[in-house]
């Protein structure tokens, strides 16, 4: 299955095709492909996705008009001004269930109180530049996120499972590096109601 989305907030054709990074070219997009029972292996599912959003794309003249709610971005957790690549693999064997996700992103952080287009809650009126605004504008930062989970299904009816997980996160740029690792153990269930119309 292939999927995608295109977001256009403002569009001025001559500025888009000029190619000089005009700040008000506010576009974003998503492309992905997802496969089920890949390579004829039952319950092996793979997904690859890319997301790209230009600086200032979800911001507005004031924070009441942006693409956010209660301090959070409605479109993507990274806000704007980013390129992201995601790979997800999952496999189920008998009652064992595994899932692995790897994400890599590059984005431009707002730095020194200046607005480079990442924070959607800052007014685009406070932007730094009118031209030369590309993804990564600002403090170019790289993010690596890896998450692995293995679970044992205790009760398939309500998806009750014991789960063990490991998460690794590294954010780095020319000024600092932040690494985090977490191990989690849990008991989890997802209650699903199946309705059949006759």
Instruction: Give buried/exposed letters for 181-195 (b at 16+ CB in 10 A, else e).
Output: eeeeeeeeeeeeeee
Would you kindly state where each structural domain of the chain is located, as residue ranges?
A: 2-188
pLDDT at residue 196, as a whole number: 63
pLDDT confidence tier of residue 16, bands split at 50, 70 and 90 = confident
Q: Which two tokens stand for residue 134?
A: 């590309």
pLDDT at residue 10, as a whole number: 82
pLDDT at residue 157, as a whole number: 84
Q: Which two tokens stand for residue 63?
A: 């924070």
Q: For the purposes of burial, counting CB atoms within 10 Å of the CB of 159, is it exposed (0-12), middle (13-18) or buried (19 or more)?
A: middle
What tens digit of pLDDT does each residue of 72-124 get? 888 888 999 999 999 999 999 999 999 999 999 999 999 998 999 998 889 89
Tell me the whole-structure pTM to 2 decimals. 0.85
| Cβ atoms of 72 and 79 closer than 8 Å | no
Q: What distance in Å separates the CA atoms of residue 89 and residue 71, rounded to the nearest whole number?
A: 31
Overall average pLDDT of the 173-196 stretch: 87
What is the Cα 140 distance to its own chain's centre?
17
What tens digit of pLDDT does each residue of 43-66 get? 999 999 999 999 999 988 887 788
Q: Does 194 score more than 80 pLDDT?
A: no
Whole-number average pLDDT of the chain: 91
pLDDT at residue 14, as a whole number: 84
pLDDT at residue 193, as a whole number: 61
175 half-sphere exposure, CB direction, 13 A CA radius = 9
């Amino acid at each position: 299955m292939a999927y995608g989305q295109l977001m256009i907030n403002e569009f001025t054709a001559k500025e888009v095709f000029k190619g000089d990074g005009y700040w008000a070219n506010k576009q974003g997009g998503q492309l992905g492909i997802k496969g089920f029972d890949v390579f004829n292996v039952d319950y092996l599912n793979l997904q690859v996705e890319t997301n790209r959003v230009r600086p200032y794309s979800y911001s507005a003249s004031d924070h009441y008009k942006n693409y956010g709610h209660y301090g959070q971005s409605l479109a993507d957790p990274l806000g704007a001004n980013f390129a992201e690549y995601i790979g997800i693999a999952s496999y189920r064997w008998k009652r064992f269930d595994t899932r692995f996700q790897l994400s890599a992103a590059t984005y431009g952080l707002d730095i020194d109180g200046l607005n480079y287009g990442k924070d959607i809650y800052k007014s685009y009126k406070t932007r730094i530049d009118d031209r030369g605004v590309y993804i990564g504008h600002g403090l170019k930062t790289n993010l690596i996120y890896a998450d692995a989970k293995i679970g044992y299904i205790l009760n398939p009816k309500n998806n009750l499972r014991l789960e063990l997980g490991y998460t690794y996160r590294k954010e780095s740029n020319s000024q600092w590096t932040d690494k985090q690792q977490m191990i989690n153990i849990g008991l989890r269930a997802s209650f699903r109601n199946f309705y059949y119309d006759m």
